[in-house]
């Protein structure tokens, strides 16, 4: 997928680019308003990551610009402003999602993947991974054609892993993804383990390879062995 | 007590006392002067009688003149002192008894002592005194009445600008930009007050705006490095060449940044609730929300072997859905966090209150449980959850209370305040 990252903080930009690059993804970036509006006007992207506080202009104006250009690029707002007004204004102006800083890169990736899947939704919204096929809209998982019955949480977890293939995903990020970051969770994420264990067991039983690995006790990695 | 009332009371009381005293003095003095005059007239009469006696060697006729009566009485033996006294006097013309003033004196006629009583009517002087008294009382009453009227109408009007400013100050909100309303007045004090109040409001607003933009900027500036740390940690984790020990260190750093960003968000949320900046006010099905929340916490209950019992009635309540969610989150998290393994959580919802009871270690009651950063020593939380809960309750006029008994901790949110 083709992604434009509009972010003025170089360190953050670099991390995002590093996380997204690879697996056939093309990442471009813009760190000020002028460059961003130029790129938006000239090229089309699958998803645009938009920081609201930009040097040279207000990020929300870029959304208006996109609308005027009648572009259908997906937009994910990433902002340090944890304000309901900004969120509603952004979504009103046609943004697809809103993520508050600080965020986990895995969460960012999952959200971007979801947006891109929705945008490129042409008949089937299916993620293929080796012998696995995950139908996101029907919430169905098949391994080598065998249907695997997963709970809602296990399914979400699998989609999350698939969006972050070959990346280490922390338990913290997983918990926030599944239960929302508003939930004042304890810092002990052992209960995640149960879900991961069950998901892995079900996939293995259906004949999938063991793609899940625990990493340093911090998190998990799902990907090619 | 209002200033005008207080002033009125003092004013009227003083006036009454002063008028009473002056009236009394007036009465006594005039009475005295009139009596003096009567006495002088009586002495003149006495002298005339004495002259008559010494010239003609006989007593004048005991005739009654107008308002005057002379009487003689032969004395034998005891000779009385010359004296003035108040008597009654029969006015033959008016045919009634009138108050009188008498002079009793002794005249010696041909070696015999004769007692002479001269009496003059006091009716006129009494009338005079009475009229003077009536006029005084009348004037007093009129003065008091006019004082009351002045106080009632003039003072009220005079103070109106003051109350206008007071009302303006009462409805003053630091977040709003309008000036404090006032009535135009020619009274310097009120104009000055108005100017000072507006200048103060302006200063407060400016400070508030500065503080707010500082908080906004600080939050933004703090979130950015935090986001960088977080993303760098995520990137670092992908390099995958750590020992288990390094992994543990990484986990600790994750843990700390997670806490920091949650802390930051909680503080911002608190500030927002305090300033009533959460707009989405709507009708909420609280029963449904509690049920959903219970399902969300399922894993956490299972982890500690907690059992949840719920007795829920359908309750619709008007508040922000976002804040309702946070309120329930905090109550549930609290019930889980301060529970014991294999314990229970009981939720009761009625139109009166939401009750959240949980088993727990007995005896860790804190009176400052709703204060910021107050938490029990073994708590993993930040000590902001209940402060936020309380703030949300305050915002909507709910009353939250906490009780601990026999190892059961109970939080009650009363909806009707």
User: Is the minimum CB–CB distance between A195 and chain B shorter than 8 Å?
Assistant: yes
Which residue in chain B has the smallest CA separation from A190?
Answer: B303
Q: For residue A185, which residues of chain B lie inside 8 Å, CB to CB?
A: 300, 333
Q: Bigger pLDDT: B133 or B14?
A: B14
Which of the residue ranges A199-208, B244-253, B268-277 has the most confident prediction, judged by mean pLDDT?
A199-208
How far the first Cα of chain A sits from its last, in Å, is 24
**Count of A–B CB contacts within 8 Å?**
127
Which residue in chain B has the smallest CA separation from A164?
Answer: B238
Q: Which two tokens stand for residue B169?
A: 């100050």
Lookup result for tokens 């006629």? B109
In 3D space, the residue among B417, B373, B375, B379 whose CA is nearest the CA of residue B399 turns out to be B417
User: Is the minimum CB–CB distance between A194 and chain B shorter than 8 Å?
Assistant: yes
What is residue B64's predicted lDDT score, i.e. its pLDDT? 63
Give one word for B407, left, alpha or beta, with left for phi > 0 and alpha for psi -120 to 50.
left
Which residue in chain B has the smallest CA separation from A216?
Answer: B247
Is residue A78 within 8 A of residue A104, CB to CB? The reply is no
* pLDDT above 70: percentage of residues in chain B: 92
Helix H or strand E segment including A169: strand A168-170
ipTM: 0.85
Q: For residue A187, which residues of chain B lie inside 8 Å, CB to CB?
A: 255, 258-259, 380
User: Is the minimum CB–CB distance between A224 and chain B shorter than 8 Å?
Assistant: no
User: Is the minimum CB–CB distance between A187 and chain B shorter than 8 Å?
Assistant: yes
For residue A53, is pLDDT > 60? yes
For residue B367, is pLDDT > 70? no
HSE-CB of A150 using CA atoms within 13 angstroms: 32
**Is B246 within 8 Å of A216 when comparing Cβ atoms?**
yes
**How does residue B341 score in pLDDT terms, banded at 50, 70 and 90?**
confident
Lowest-pLDDT choice from A62-66, A101-105, B166-170, B360-364: B360-364
For residue B350, is pLDDT > 60? yes
Q: What is the pLDDT of residues B77-115, one digit of tens each?
A: 777 788 888 888 777 777 778 888 888 888 888 778 888
**B189: CB partners within 8 A, 6+ apart:** none
For residue A123, is pLDDT > 60? no
Q: What is the pLDDT of residues A171-199, one digit of tens each?
A: 888 888 888 765 555 556 777 888 899 99
Q: Bigger pLDDT: B378 or A138?
A: A138
For residue A158, is pLDDT > 90? yes
What is residue B45's predicted lDDT score, i.e. its pLDDT? 87
What is residue B65's predicted lDDT score, i.e. its pLDDT? 67
User: Is the minimum CB–CB distance between B267 and chain A shorter than 8 Å?
Assistant: no
**Is A185 within 8 Å of B300 when comparing Cβ atoms?**
yes
**A205: CB partners within 8 A, 6+ apart:** none
Q: What is the pLDDT of residues B63-82, one digit of tens each?
A: 666 677 888 888 777 777 88
**Across A57-77, average pLDDT:** 87
User: Is the minimum CB–CB distance between A167 and chain B shorter than 8 Å?
Assistant: yes
User: Is the minimum CB–CB distance between B232 and chain A shorter than 8 Å?
Assistant: yes
The Cβ of residue B338 has, within 10 Å, a number of other Cβ atoms equal to: 20
Of A103, A191, A218, the CB nearest to B227: A103
Of A19, A181, A190, the CB nearest to B235: A19
**Across B297-323, average pLDDT:** 86
Q: What is the pTM of this model?
A: 0.65
**B150 DSSP 8-state letter:** I
**How does residue A30 score in pLDDT terms, banded at 50, 70 and 90?**
very high
**Is A187 within 8 Å of B330 when comparing Cβ atoms?**
no
Q: What is the pLDDT of residues B38-54, one digit of tens each?
A: 899 889 988 988 888 88
Q: What is the pLDDT of residues A68-114, one digit of tens each?
A: 888 888 899 988 766 666 777 778 888 899 888 888 899 999 999 99
Is residue A78 within 8 A of residue A50, CB to CB? The reply is yes
Interface residue of A218, A220, A222, A224 to substitute, partner B, most B CBs within 10 Å? A218
Of B230, B265, B303, the CB nearest to A82: B265
Q: What is the pLDDT of residues B21-30, one digit of tens each?
A: 888 888 888 8
User: Is the minimum CB–CB distance between A19 and chain B shorter than 8 Å?
Assistant: yes
């Amino acid at each position: 997928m083709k992604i434009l990252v509009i972010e003025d903080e170089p360190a953050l930009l670099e991390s995002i680019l590093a996380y997204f690059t690879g697996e056939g993804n093309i990442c471009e970036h813009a760190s000020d308003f002028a460059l961003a509006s130029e790129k938006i006007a000239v090229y089309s992207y699958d998803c645009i990551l938009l920081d609201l506080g930009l040097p040279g202009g207000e990020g929300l104006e870029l959304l208006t610009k996109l609308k005027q250009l009648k572009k259908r690029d997906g937009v994910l707002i990433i902002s340090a402003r944890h304000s309901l007004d900004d969120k509603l204004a952004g979504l009103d102006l046609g943004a697809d999602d809103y993520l508050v800083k600080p965020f986990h890169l895995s969460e960012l990736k999952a959200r971007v993947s979801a947006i891109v899947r929705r945008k490129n939704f042409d008949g089937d919204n299916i993620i293929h991974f080796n012998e696995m096929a995950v139908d996101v809209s029907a919430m169905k998982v098949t391994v080598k054609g065998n249907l695997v019955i997963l709970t809602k949480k296990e399914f979400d977890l699998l989609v999350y892993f698939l969006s972050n293939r070959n990346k280490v995903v922390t338990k913290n990020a997983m918990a926030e993804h599944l239960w929302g970051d508003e939930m004042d969770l304890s810092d002990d994420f052992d209960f995640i383990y149960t879900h991961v264990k069950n998901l892995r067991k079900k996939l293995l039983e259906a004949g999938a390879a063991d793609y899940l690995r625990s990493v340093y006790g911090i998190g998990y990695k799902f990907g090619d062995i | 007590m209002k200033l005008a009332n207080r002033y009125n009371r003092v004013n009227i009381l003083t006036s009454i006392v002063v008028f009473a005293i002056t009236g009394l003095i007036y009465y006594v003095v005039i009475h005295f002067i009139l009596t003096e005059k009567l006495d002088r007239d009586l002495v003149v009469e006495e002298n005339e009688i004495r002259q008559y006696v010494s010239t003609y060697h006989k007593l004048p006729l005991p005739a009654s003149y107008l308002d005057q009566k002379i009487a003689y009485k032969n004395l034998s033996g005891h000779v009385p002192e010359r004296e003035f006294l108040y008597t009654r006097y029969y006015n033959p013309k008016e045919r009634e008894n009138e108050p009188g003033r008498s002079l009793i004196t002794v005249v010696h006629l041909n070696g015999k002592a004769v007692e002479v009583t001269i009496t003059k009517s006091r009716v006129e002087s009494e009338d005079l005194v009475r009229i003077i008294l009536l006029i005084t009382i009348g004037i007093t009453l009129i003065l008091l009445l006019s004082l009351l009227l002045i106080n009632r109408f003039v003072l009220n009007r005079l103070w109106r600008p003051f109350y206008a400013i007071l009302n303006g100050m009462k409805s003053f909100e630091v977040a709003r930009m309008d000036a404090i309303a006032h009535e135009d007045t020619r009274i310097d004090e009120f104009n000055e007050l108005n100017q000072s109040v507006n200048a103060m409001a302006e200063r407060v607003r400016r400070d508030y705006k500065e503080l707010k933009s500082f908080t906004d900027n600080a939050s933004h500036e703090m979130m950015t490095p935090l986001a960088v740390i977080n993303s760098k940690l995520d990137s670092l984790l992908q390099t995958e060449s750590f020992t288990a020990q390094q992994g543990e260190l990484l986990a600790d750093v994750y843990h700390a940044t997670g806490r920091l960003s949650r802390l930051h968000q909680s503080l911002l949320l608190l500030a927002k609730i305090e300033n009533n900046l959460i707009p989405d006010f709507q009708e909420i099905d609280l029963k449904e929300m509690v049920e959903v929340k219970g399902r969300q916490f399922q894993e956490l209950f299972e982890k500690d072997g907690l059992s949840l019992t719920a007795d829920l009635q359908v309750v619709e309540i008007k508040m922000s859905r976002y804040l309702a969610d946070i309120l329930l989150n905090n109550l549930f998290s609290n019930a889980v966090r301060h529970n014991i393994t294999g314990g229970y959580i009981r939720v009761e919802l009625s139109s009166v209150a939401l009750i959240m009871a949980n088993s727990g270690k007995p005896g860790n009651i804190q009176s400052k449980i709703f204060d910021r950063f107050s938490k029990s020593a073994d708590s993993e939380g930040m000590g902001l959850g209940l402060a936020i809960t309380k703030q949300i309750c305050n915002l909507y006029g709910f009353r939250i209370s906490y009780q601990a008994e026999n190892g059961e901790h109970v939080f009650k949110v009363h909806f009707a305040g």
